[in-house]
Homo-oligomer: A and B are copies of this chain.
Amino acid sequence: MKQLVGSAIIGQSGGPTSVINASAYGVIRTALDNPCITKVYGAAHGIRGVLDDVLYDMGEEDAFELSLLLHTPSSALGSCRYKLKDPDVDDTDYKRILEIFQKYDVRYFFYNGGNDSMDTCNKISKYMQRVGYECRVMGVPKTIDNDLFGTDHCPGFASAAKYVATSCMEIYQDARVYDTPMVCVVEIMGRHAGWLAGSAAAATYLGCGPDLIYLPETDFDVEQFLADVERLYKETGKVFVAVSEGIHDANGKLIAEYGAENAKVDSFGHKQLGGLAATLVDMIKNRLPDVKTRGIELSLLQRCAAHCASQTDVDESFAAGKAAVENAVNGVTDKMVAFERSYDAEGNYVCNLKLVDLTLCANTEKKVPREWINAAGNGLEKPYVDYLLPLLKGEVQPEKEFGLPRFAKLKKVVAGK
């Protein structure tokens, strides 16, 4: 294998997670410590920072502050939702990226994100191959949605799932405190894949979670839903429902749109959802006018509650970033780091790293297998819980100041200025 010496860029893209910076730290720390990598640049707001020539010199950062990235949520370098065009239609952006790569002698490009980011990463990788510019391009996965193809699970998912399951357990305690009936609906992120909403099933498995869980993998029938709620309400007086934001009817129409017909669309063409919990609560109030209801949207916190991260997830996220650099230095390119699960002789979960072609990961969504969802489509089966629980293990012990998180404070010294 030919040794490749040059600088590296790390960019973060898409919706943030509690541990995306643990992956970034895995890349940055490993790259700073590797003699083949002469400079490590953090792209401001993902690929936008490359296009705009705003690159932070990570060598200027204090080592302690960098280490705090392990427990600092959201993308510390900034994120974007910028979709690169097909280079055969318009290669303006690609020419600009090449120009910046040449300007900074970039020979390593690490992109930390989900499906759309792997698409960006893949397009850049293929373009650099086509124009013959030697640069090793590696995807570092992240998404709370857990919908990336080619990996057993995705960095960021476990921490979000731990937050969702923990919060559901706490809400369960609270929502049952009075001697009066109560219907509570919790709305969880997930447009097309229900992995995260499914994590509420861990709370149910431990005896204090939702009675009903609906994922976008099955069609949502409003009448059946109201019948489910009414039945439980009559049986126990307490009903706890968890739903993915992306649940839809048999025609594919989003249930969130039953309430608000005109949701906004972002630059990837995804509808900006929201208000589903309120929509369902309104439906329940129409059916059961006297019952007290509560709609709870976990909102941004499910993807940024680093205080409740899974230590397993932090460790794996760091390892993914580290492996991306080590593999690239060893000659690998055009791959995404992925996870494969195994169990040791004692039956303990083991996470093994592997590499997957970027082409395979880009834009392919992995959904919850139908057989892990119950026949009625209102709950999860035991194999899903068995899949999930090992990922939640381990409590983080982040640095604190006055009993509050001490997040990384980066200097963000812009290179070449």
- Spell out A's residues near B (CB within 8 Å): 16, 44-45, 48, 72-75, 78-81, 162, 165-167, 169-171, 173-179, 184, 202-203, 206-208, 294, 296-297, 299-301, 303-308, 310, 312, 389, 392-395, 397, 400-405, 407, 409
Contact = CB atoms under 8 A, between A and B. Distances in A.
Which 3 A/B pairs are nearest by Cβ-Cβ distance? A392-B403, A74-B173, A174-B304
A14 B177 CA distance: 9
26 contacts: A72-B173, A74-B170, A74-B173, A74-B176, A74-B177, A75-B177, A78-B178, A78-B179, A79-B177, A80-B178, A165-B404, A167-B301, A167-B305, A170-B300, A170-B301, A171-B301, A173-B304, A173-B407, A174-B304, A184-B300, A206-B401, A208-B407, A301-B301, A312-B403, A392-B404, A395-B403
Given A81-B178, A296-B300, 6 more contacts: A16-B177, A72-B173, A171-B300, A171-B301, A171-B304, A296-B297
Given A72-B173, A393-B403, A294 B301 contact: no
A73 B79 CA distance: 36
B80 A179 contact: yes
A296 B275 CA distance: 11
A175 to B, nearest CB: 7
A307 B401 contact: no
Given A45-B179, A48-B179, A300-B294, A404 B202 contact: yes
A40 B91 CA distance: 77
Given A208-B407, A300-B296, A403-B310, A78 B177 contact: yes
A163 to B, nearest CB: 9
Nearest to A168: B404
Given A179-B45, A179-B80, A300-B294, A74 B404 contact: no
B307 A174 contact: no
A166 B403 CA distance: 9
B404 A394 contact: no
Contacts of A297: 296-297
A74 B174 contact: yes
A395 B406 CA distance: 13
A268 to B, nearest CB: 13
Contacts of A175: 300
A319 to B, nearest CB: 18
A170 to B, nearest CB: 4
B78 A169 contact: no
A284 B294 CA distance: 25
A159 to B, nearest CB: 10
A405 B308 CA distance: 11
Contacts of A207: 409
Contacts of A400: 395
Contacts of A44: 179
A224 B176 CA distance: 40
Given A308-B307, A308-B308, A405 B169 contact: yes
Of A81, A169, A294, A308, most buried by chain B (CB within 10 Å of CB) is: A169
A393 B400 CA distance: 9
